[in-house]
Structure formats: C-alpha cells, structure tokens
C-alpha cells in the first residue's frame, strides 16, 4: 500500500456515483505525516440522495420484505468475504489511523468478523413475532425493522464500530446511510464493495465520508428513523439534540474513564498484564473501554506502582506495521497535543509521572506519545475525570473496599472496568456494585455476544448480541379477537 489510495466516487444507494461537490478528504498517515489516501467529501446534497435511496428501498424495496433467513444468507456472505480478506482490512486501517498491526488484525479486522458472526447467531434465534395471552384476549407481538438508519462511526476502531451497527441493522431489515470519520474513510468504502458483491440490494447501503457539518445534516434529516453513533460525549449530546427535533430514535456509545480495582489479595502479574492490555495495548490507548484509572490499596501501592512502571517503560513504541510494536501513534496531531496537554495539566495538579510523559526521542516524525503512568493521583484531578484517549494511566490509592467502589463510581462515565482478586466471588460482588456497562473479573475483555454500552455519560442503549439486534426493531401489538365463549 505504498501508493496513495484514491477513490473518486461515493457509494450511494448501492451504486458508485459522482459526488455533488468537488471537495476531497485527504487521509494523513500518523506515522509519516504524508498523504496516503484521498476520497470525495460528501455534501448535504449527497446526504439527501442517500436518504432518499434508503427511504425508497425501505418503503418499497425487497430488503425489509425478505425473510430473515434470506437476509441471514446475504450477511453471511459479507462476513465470509470480510474474513477472507481480514489481513488486507487490518493493513488498511493501520495505514489510516496508525493502529499497531498486532492489535489491528484481531481488534480491527477479526473483531468486525466476530460481530457479524455473533449477530448472525442472535438473528438465527430471533422471533419476529409471537402470540401471548393479553388481558382481553390473545395478542400478536410483532418486531418490525425501525427503518432508515444513520450510522456514524469514529476513527479509532472503524470497522469494529461499523459492524456493531451495520450487522444488526441489515439483519433487522433496515436500510443504512453510513458516515465514517473523515480520518478513516478508506475501509468504509472498501467494505461497500464487499457488500455490493455479496448481493445487498440497491438502496440498502450508502457510504458518505464527511465532516461534522454533513453529519449534522444527516442526523437531523426527517427521512432518518434511527441514529446509531459512536464517538465523543459532546458530539453525542449534539446528535441527541438534533434528533429530538424529529423524535428520531438514538443509540449512543460514548466515552469512558473506566476503573480497574486491584483488591488487596490480587495476583499482581494478572492485574499488571490486564491493565497493560486494557490501556496502552488497546489501540495505543485510543479506546473508550480503556482502564485508565487503576485503584490500588495503600498497602500494595508501592508494589503495584513499581510493577506497572516497569511494564509501561518496557513497551515498544514505533512503526505500527512492525508486529513487535505495542504502542503506535495518535491518529492526528491534534490528538497527540491533547495527550501532551493533559500530561502537563496532571503534573501541575500535583500528580507524579512515574514513566513516560512526552514524545519518544526516537520518533521525530509522527504523532507519538510515550506510554505514561501517573502516580499520586486523586480522583478529583482532571486527569482522573476527563477522557484523554491515549496511553495515559492514573494510579489512585484507596484504604477500604467500600472506598474503592465509591471511587470507581465517582465518575461522569460508566462504560467498562475490571476487578482483580484471588477470590472470584469477592471480586464478582464488587463488580456488581460498580455502575458500569461492562466489567471483567481478573482480566480485560469485551465480549461480543453480551450487551455493550454505558451508564451516565457513556451513552444510551446497548450493542452486540440479542440486545444489540433488538435495538433495530420497533414493537407492534396486534390485538386479536378473543375466542368465542363456549
């Protein structure tokens, strides 16, 4: 992929068409800072065309009228094509956002395949209608597709987040207008080709790379029935406000500031390995589920701090195409500068940099940040409150188990988390008390067969598994005549 990847058309309603405008999006490598791709910039006029095509396909086309089994066949072909070309997909994502290839293969490409797979399993067991006894007679409860879906996805795990919306929407019988992030449009247009080859009917999918202005036109469009968004809290609030004007349904997967609670009897090797995997090892820290607050008992603070400092300092930082690299660049220079600014703020607040804290000396080019571990952090500091979205982690002391739970819950977010203990029952009981959508005992895991989403500012709704599929249906009650009395 040494040559620049160029697309000169948009995918609207299942066809490659000329864009309405002349502007383009240049994809910049976060490693070389050079242009590696160029695609058309979709305009509001392109949005209107895409929504019209999606509306026509939903209201009059075959897709929502096919049987669920028929839709399963098409989505299975998409999944199989994605699986066959997963290495190509991983390399394309790495080219755009600098995701280390050791993460990109499982976390960017194969995870998208897995989401399609688990959603297909959920669909195979899904009942589109069932009859139940109501208070006045039998009731037929139907589940019908919600309609035209606007899917808006971020740059950090683009195919993962596309799959989390596209798979359930398609299987439900919806039509989709997808707006990928302008930082990572190449893989979305690549996926459009696969969907067309798999036999997705015309009108069912459009892909419109664009900025927020075009995205705002999409989410406020009266022809859209549901908005599915992954991204920042600020953007999520703006989307919810815009969608409210039309009472458009929304599902929002937003940010996190997740806590890893290390209990006093925890196996330190397990905790350290999981924290590294759940922070710097998770897309160079650019993950909403990252375990960025590590809560440590005072009795073991020095031990944990020493072990994590050594682990962070030893992490290979560099070229994401190198399979040995664990930490690659931030996706943009703006994101790099945000990380460095947060590190500066943390030091001003009185936190202590145990390792890292700047730009690696060996990386004069590219938007890199050293894996950074802060000690002596208190939960009221900005670095403990705000999502930094990079390889920056805070160590916070606690005295009692109840205090650890209170600290974990003292956050505007509630997306992920972990609890470490030699006693699984004890850790599970602590996990029950943490207000977060996903939490792992003695590890770091996002299970694609289980519901995923957040409490508080981490969002609204759930993705993955049966719950994620159900989010793309409306429920209809058909009241049937009561049987004649004997």
State pLDDT tens for residues 153-205.
Answer: 999 999 999 999 999 999 999 999 999 999 999 999 999 999 999 999 999 99
Q: 151, 145, 139: which is closest to 123 by C-alpha?
A: 145
| Residue 486: inside a domain | no
| Residue 119: inside a domain | yes
CATH assignment at residue 433: 3.40.309.10
Task: Answer yes or no: 370 catalytic.
Answer: no
| Residue 354: inside a domain | yes
> Do 49 and 164 share a domain, yes or no?
yes
Number of domains in the chain: 2
Contacts of 474 (CB under 8 A, 6+ apart): 143, 144, 145, 146
Task: Answer yes or no: 280 catalytic.
Answer: no
| Residue 484: inside a domain | no
> Do 213 and 295 share a domain, yes or no?
no
| Residue 11: inside a domain | yes
> Do 114 and 243 share a domain, yes or no?
yes
> Do 352 and 470 share a domain, yes or no?
no
**Could you write out the DSSP letters of every residue in 235-270?**
HHHHHHHHHHTTT-EEEEE-----EEEE-TT--HHH
> Do 52 and 104 share a domain, yes or no?
yes
Query: What is the C-alpha to C-alpha distance for residues 86 and 454, in angstroms, rounded to an integer?
Result: 29
Angle at 90 between CA 293 and CA 166, to 5 degrees: 80
pLDDT in the model for residue 484: 83
Domain that includes residue 322, residue range: 259-447
Q: Listing from the earlier edge strand, what are the strands of the sheet with 129-133?
A: 129-133, 138-145, 473-479
> Do 185 and 276 share a domain, yes or no?
no
> Do 335 and 407 share a domain, yes or no?
yes
Main-chain phi, psi angles of 175, to 5 degrees = -110, 155
> Do 189 and 308 share a domain, yes or no?
no
Question: What average pLDDT does the structure give for the chain?
Answer: 97
What is the Cα Rg of the chain in Å? 23
CATH assignment at residue 184: 3.40.605.10
Low-confidence residues in the chain, pLDDT < 50: 1
pLDDT in the model for residue 483: 85
Q: Which residues of 33-49 are buried (b: 16+ CB within 10 A; e: fewer)?
A: eeebbbbbbbbbebbeb
| Residue 453: inside a domain | no
| Residue 454: inside a domain | no
Select which of 183, 253, 370, 387 is catalytic: 253
> Do 109 and 13 share a domain, yes or no?
yes
pLDDT in the model for residue 3: 80
| Residue 482: inside a domain | no
pLDDT in the model for residue 2: 55
> Do 265 and 250 share a domain, yes or no?
no
> Do 233 and 286 share a domain, yes or no?
no
pLDDT in the model for residue 364: 87
Select which of 174, 195, 280, 288 is catalytic: 288
- The tokens of 62 are what? 């075959």
Beta-strand ranges (E) seen in 344-465 are 352-355, 372-377, 392-398, 413-414, 417-420, 440-441, 455-456, 459-460
- The tokens of 163 are what? 């799959």
> Do 139 and 199 share a domain, yes or no?
yes
């Amino acid at each position: 992929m040494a040559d620049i990847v160029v697309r000169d058309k948009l995918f609207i309603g299942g066809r490659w068409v000329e864009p309405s405008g002349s502007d383009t999006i240049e994809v910049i490598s976060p490693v070389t800072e050079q242009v590696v791709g160029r695609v058309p910039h979709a305009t509001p006029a392109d949005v209107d065309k895409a929504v019209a095509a999606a509306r026509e396909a939903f209201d009059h086309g075959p897709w929502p009228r096919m049987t669920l089994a028929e839709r399963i066949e098409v989505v299975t072909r998409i999944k199989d094509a994605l699986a066959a070309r997963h290495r190509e997909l991983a390399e394309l994502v790495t080219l755009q956002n600098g995701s280390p290839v050791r993460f990109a293969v499982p976390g960017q490409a194969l995870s998208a395949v897995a989401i399609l797979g688990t959603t297909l399993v959920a669909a195979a067991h899904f009942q589109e209608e069932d009859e139940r006894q109501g208070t006045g007679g039998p009731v037929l409860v139907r589940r019908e597709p919600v309609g035209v879906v606007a899917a808006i996805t971020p740059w950090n795990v683009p195919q993962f987040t596309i799959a989390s919306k596209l798979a359930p929407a398609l299987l439900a019988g919806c039509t989709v207008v997808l707006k990928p992030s302008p930082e990572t449009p190449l893989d979305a247009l690549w996926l459009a080709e696969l969907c067309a080859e798999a036999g997705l009917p015309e009108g069912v999918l459009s892909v419109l790379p664009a900025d927020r202005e075009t995205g705002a036109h999409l989410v406020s469009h009266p022809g859209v029935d549901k908005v599915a968004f992954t991204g920042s809290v600020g953007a999520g609030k703006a989307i919810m406000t815009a969608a409210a004007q039309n009472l458009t349904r929304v599902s929002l997967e937003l940010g996190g500031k997740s806590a890893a609670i290390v209990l006093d009897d925890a196996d330190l090797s397990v905790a350290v390995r999981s924290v590294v995997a759940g922070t710097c090892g998770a897309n160079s820290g650019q993950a909403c589920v990252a375990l960025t607050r590590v809560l440590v008992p005072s009795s073991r603070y020095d031990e944990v701090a020493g072990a994590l400092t050594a682990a962070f300092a030893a992490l290979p930082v560099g070229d994401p195409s190198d399979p040995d690299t664990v930490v690659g660049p931030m996706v943009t220079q703006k994101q790099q500068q945000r990380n460095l600014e947060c590190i500066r703020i943390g030091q001003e607040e009185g936190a202590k940099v145990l390792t890292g804290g700047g730009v690696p000396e060996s990386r004069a080019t590219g938007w890199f940040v050293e894996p950074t571990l802060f000690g002596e952090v208190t939960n009221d500091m900005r670095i403990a409150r705000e999502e930094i979205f990079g390889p920056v982690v805070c160590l916070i002391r606690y005295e009692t188990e109840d205090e650890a739970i209170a600290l974990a819950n003292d956050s505007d977010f509630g997306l992920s988390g972990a609890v470490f203990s030699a006693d699984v029952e004890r850790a599970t009981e602590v996990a029950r008390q943490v207000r977060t959508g996903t939490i792992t005992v003695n590890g770091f895991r996002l299970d694609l067969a289980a519901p995923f989403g957040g409490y508080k500012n981490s969002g609204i709704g759930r993705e993955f598994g049966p719950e994620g599929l159900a989010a793309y249906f409306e429920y209809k009650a058909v009241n049937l005549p009561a049987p004649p009395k004997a």
